[in-house]
Amino acid sequence: MAIPLEDEAIDWRRARREALCGPRLARPPDIVDPRMRTAPGTPLVLEADSIFIDSTAARYQLRGKVLMERLDQWLRSDAVDYDAAADRALVPTPFSYSEAGLNLEGTSAEIDLGADTLDVEHARYRLWENYAHGEAGRMNNREGRYTSLDNLRYSTCPPGQEMWWLRASRLDLDTGEGMGRARHTRVEVGGVPLFYFPYLVFPIDDRRRTGLLPPNIGNSSSHGTHVTLPVYLNLAPNYDATIYPTYYSRRGQQIGADFRYLQPSFSGEMTAEYLPNDQILEEDRWAGQLSHRGRLPADIRYDAEINRVSDEDYLRDFSSNLAASSPAELESRASVSQSAGAHSWQAQFRHWQTLRGDPSYRRWPQVDYQHLPGRLPGGVDYRLTSEAVRFAHPDESDRDTGDRVHIEPRFARPWRHPAFFLEPALTARYTRYDLDRPDEDAPESPTRSVPTASLDSGIFLERPFRIGDRLMMQTLEPRLFYLYTPYRDQDDLPVFDTDERSFTVSQLFSENRFSGVDRIGDADQVTVAVTTRFLDVFAGRQFLRGSVGQIHYRRDRRVTLDGEAGDEEERNRSDIFVDADAALPGNVMLRGDYQYDPYEEKWASYSYRAVWQYRPAPDTVLNIDYRVREERVENGDNNRTEQIDTSAVVGLGASWSVFGAWQRSLEERVNLEVAGGVEYRECCWAVRGTMRRYRTGSELEAENIFMLELELTGLASFGQDTRGFLSDMVPGHDDTLF
């Protein structure tokens, strides 16, 4: 059956479901408030070939093609005895009944219309939701809330094609409580019983309930076979927990727990994992994480983020994400902040657990203050930023440690017009240190004061033009920026958190060529740049932008990180920087930058990236992401990275889908990740298998994983969460297409 493709995903999902399952088994849900059924004045319509009336007792005998109708409720049978005084009906012959989202048949029934109750013998039911249907020896529904079924079976497969059944000797459903209770329950797949539960309590709506979650089963080359049996604990409406014991055939037993809490003034989550005596490393291994945030009176906000692991390889061994599995360090932080009008402040502690490489400085603590009063008299913008930081280090015997105080007021007077802007500014910077230094001859309390003056200006030019019938606009935006900062000797100052910037066109307009405040670069320079944009006027969309810029120096630069000036600081002009991005038809995105060395008369670095996404159908998407970056170095052995990422999901009719992903380093000629799989889906079940080979850690060690998931639609999924993995693997894929 061909699947019609609609613009809206919900229409496509409905078409795909009907292609697999056929027409719905029940009437569509009507827009009816169930409380109106028993409301006074709601009419009851009676039709029949013959009606015998006992007016004294207010009883009716309806015979032959009987129809009873009340709002969305319809009852059809050959015989109905109706007691109007008691508002009860007896149906002694086979009947059919329907209401919003439900069709019901039985051999006989008793109906209390006033109490909205129903008692049916040998019931056969069909639901609108999930194509569910089944049978029960006896069915009782009271008040539209409580339903009991004896000797029942339930499936979401098309009638006559039931691949699986849920069977129970008794099932009690409470829609008000949102709970179901089943006795002697078993799940049969292909006629073979897979699971049996003597007593089962489960949720029937989205409300959270304590209970077992579907198991997670998989296999990998480093762990062997692993099985996780998660247990969810609904401890209270505002906090819960999940405990997930895991067995690894090659490593042993691991226990993990996740605890979430929510209060009006704070919330958070705690996660812990513990693996005693890893059978491969022969040591205990663990990980812990805390994320907490809250609010105090006077609009004071605080948060904490703590991340710790037992060893540097823990994330490599137990994380399936390439980026998350190979960090050099884990950050932990705690902060408190407040904003009150023009004043704001923040105090924080920041700590890093070093996994690889040299340890970082700890900010123990850091206090920041900002004063942003806005526009002052005369149109002057004023801003004050300041910080006080204590830098600690695990190896204090070889590193400078101590306190740094930095204060930075800035005054600017902008003139802005649709055709131009002009902004002179003056910035003063004062920095003081109190240090513990391994070099006894180095000053312990150095200070530095340095002013900066700048003048930023630009012009906006534009011209309209047409491409066919579309009105377009091109802009031309020249920009001129002058910067002056006098030289101050800073060789005695430590370097805690400062580095040289990697320039782009936009960063050519920065007031400091260093990324931190341990160095304030001296400057007497002019930046010249121009930007052009191409805009679709009607769509309000920019489809092309390009910028080019260069700095012209009026004197040599003397401030450096290590106190040694090189050839770069003696040039009278910088490299030429170019960057551009384009949004092309066909959902193609391009971005690139280029750095040209006018002294060497050749490129210094370049990078470009092309991203294409093709979606011919809601269940089909193809992604290609190609990126290159290369930097020229002095020894001629350039630093180059070249990588391509491709991923796709392709729907092959209503039942089959194939998916895959490939991430390859073209420079190193190694596959970083290769994954592929297939899904087969019928109306009421699906099976997905995935093979994945990826590299983890700084050594890019190969890891192989096989994932298998069986989904019984409308009941549960068994195996690993391949559906969630598929959504992460393929950008733009919608995992709710069924």
Q: What is the pLDDT of residue 4?
A: 43
Spatial contact of 681 and 655, defined as CB atoms under 8 Å apart: yes
Measured between alpha carbons, how far is 707 from 666 in angstroms, rounded to an integer? 27
Do residue 43 and residue 150 come from a single domain? yes
Do residue 659 and residue 579 come from a single domain? no
pLDDT bucket at 695, cuts 50 / 70 / 90? confident
- Is residue 523 domain-resident? yes
- Grouping H, G, I as helix, E, B as strand and the rest as coil, residue 358 is coil
Do residue 503 and residue 455 come from a single domain? yes
Task: Say if residue 324's pLDDT is above 60.
Answer: no
Specify the pairing of strand 108-112 against strand 117-127.
Answer: antiparallel
pLDDT bucket at 1, cuts 50 / 70 / 90? very low
- Is residue 48 domain-resident? yes
Specify the pairing of strand 656-665 against strand 670-681.
Answer: antiparallel
Measured between alpha carbons, how far is 704 from 293 in angstroms, rounded to an integer? 38
- Is residue 464 domain-resident? yes
Amino acid identity of 171? L
- Is residue 596 domain-resident? no
The tens digit of pLDDT for each residue in 40-55 reads: 777 888 899 998 988 7
- Grouping H, G, I as helix, E, B as strand and the rest as coil, residue 336 is strand
Q: What is the pLDDT of residue 697?
A: 59
Region 130-155: what's the mean pLDDT?
A: 85
The dihedral through the CA atoms of 676, 680, 685, 687 has a sign that is negative
The tens digit of pLDDT for each residue in 655-680 reads: 898 999 999 999 888 888 899 999 99
Least confident of 26-30, 300-304, 388-392, 486-490: 26-30
Q: Which domain holds residue 140?
A: 9-162
Q: Scanning the structure block, which residue is given the tokens 């709601």?
A: 42
What is this structure's pTM?
0.78
Amino acid identity of 162? E
Measured between alpha carbons, how far is 483 from 155 in angstroms, rounded to an integer? 74
Q: How distant is the alpha carbon of residue 654 from its chain centre?
A: 28
Do residue 573 and residue 624 come from a single domain? no
The tens digit of pLDDT for each residue in 427-476 reads: 999 999 999 999 988 999 999 999 999 999 999 999 999 988 889 999 99
Element (H, E) at 312: none
Q: What is the pLDDT of residue 203?
A: 67
Q: What is the pLDDT of residue 131?
A: 78
pLDDT, mean over the chain: 88
pLDDT bucket at 5, cuts 50 / 70 / 90? very low
Task: Say if residue 738's pLDDT is above 80.
Answer: no
Q: Which residues contact 94 (CB under 8 A, 6 or more apart)?
A: 77, 78, 105, 106, 107, 108
Do residue 14 and residue 102 come from a single domain? yes
**357 vs 521 pLDDT, higher one:** 521
Region 480-489: what's the mean pLDDT?
A: 97
How many CB atoms within 10 Å of residue 403? 14
Task: Say if residue 184's pLDDT is above 80.
Answer: yes
Whole-Å CA distances, 155 to 18, 132, 133, 247, 390: 16, 6, 6, 32, 65
Region 678-703: what's the mean pLDDT?
A: 82
Question: Which range, 4-8, 542-546, 681-685, 710-714, is most confident?
Answer: 542-546
Q: Which residues partner with 216 through β-bridges?
A: 228
What one-character-per-residue DSSP string does 574-634 give? --EEEEEEEEETTTEEEEEEEEEETTTTEEEEEEEEEEEEEEEETTEEEEEEEEEEEE--T
Amino acid identity of 522? D
pLDDT bucket at 32, cuts 50 / 70 / 90? low
Q: Tell me 5's DSSP state.
A: P
Q: How many domains does the chain have?
A: 3
Q: Scanning the structure block, which residue is given the tokens 């699971």?
A: 195
- Is residue 669 domain-resident? yes
Do residue 434 and residue 563 come from a single domain? yes
Task: Say if residue 704's pLDDT is above 90.
Answer: no
Task: Say if residue 15's pLDDT is above 50.
Answer: yes
Domain boundary among 584, 617, 639: 584
Q: What is the pLDDT of residue 7?
A: 47
Measured between alpha carbons, how far is 90 from 219 in angstroms, rounded to an integer? 59
Counting residues of the chain whose pLDDT is more than 70, the rounded percentage is 93
Q: What is the dihedral of CA 531, 536, 540, 543, to 10 degrees?
A: -50
pLDDT bucket at 6, cuts 50 / 70 / 90? very low
Task: Say if residue 323's pLDDT is above 50.
Answer: no
Counting residues of the chain whose pLDDT is more than 90, the rounded percentage is 52
Q: Which two tokens stand for residue 185?
A: 């329950």
Domain boundary among 551, 584, 617: 584
- Is residue 338 domain-resident? no
Strand segments (E) across 297-341: 300-309, 329-340
Q: Which residues partner with 243 through β-bridges?
A: 231, 257
Spatial contact of 83 and 54, defined as CB atoms under 8 Å apart: no
**722 vs 37 pLDDT, higher one:** 722
Do residue 633 and residue 719 come from a single domain? yes
Domain boundary among 136, 162, 188: 162
Q: What is the CA radius of gyration of the chain?
A: 35
- Is residue 274 domain-resident? no
Q: What is the pLDDT of residue 700?
A: 66
Do residue 424 and residue 570 come from a single domain? yes
Do residue 483 and residue 613 come from a single domain? no
Measured between alpha carbons, how far is 414 from 107 in angstroms, rounded to an integer? 85
- Is residue 262 domain-resident? no
Spatial contact of 527 and 509, defined as CB atoms under 8 Å apart: yes
Task: Say if residue 190's pLDDT is above 90.
Answer: no
Q: Which two tokens stand for residue 116?
A: 């909205």
Do residue 529 and residue 661 come from a single domain? no
Report the CATH number that the domain containing residue 42 is assigned in CATH: 2.60.450.10
Do residue 614 and residue 548 come from a single domain? no
Do residue 617 and residue 556 come from a single domain? no
Task: Say if residue 593's pLDDT is above 60.
Answer: yes
Q: Which two tokens stand for residue 22?
A: 């056929």
